[in-house]
Amino acid sequence: MKLLCLIISIILFVVAHSQTLPPTKNFLPCVSCANENKPICAEPTKGGAPQTFQSRCLMLAMDCGHYEPQYKFLYNGKCQ
């Protein structure tokens, strides 16, 4: 019974907080990316080391739901 109450509390917490998020501009829908193998190098927009993603789709999926893009495209291929 305690576990059920905990689960319900967590669900209500998530629902309540998801409705208070600011609207996103240029919203990229959350998608499942195909299992591509076309590496792409991207740089975090807030600074930090470039990161290699398996595909451009996976890089863009990192921006899903964020108000500002998290990564900017550098070039095709793995980061040097």
Q: What was the pLDDT predicted at 24?
A: 45
The DSSP annotation for 13-75 comes to HHHHHHTTSPPPSSPPPP-PPP-----EEEEETTSS--EEESSHHHHHHTTTT-SS-SEEEEE
Q: What is the mean pLDDT of the chain?
A: 76
Architecture of domain 25-80: 2-Layer Sandwich (3.30)
Averaged pLDDT, 49-71:
87
Q: Enumerate the β-bridge partners of residue 73.
A: 42
Percentage of the chain beyond pLDDT 90 is: 24
What is the average pLDDT across 53-57? Answer: 90
The pLDDT score that the predictor gives to residue 5 is 64
pLDDT at 16 (0 to 100): 54
Could you tell me the residue ranges of all domains in the chain?
25-80
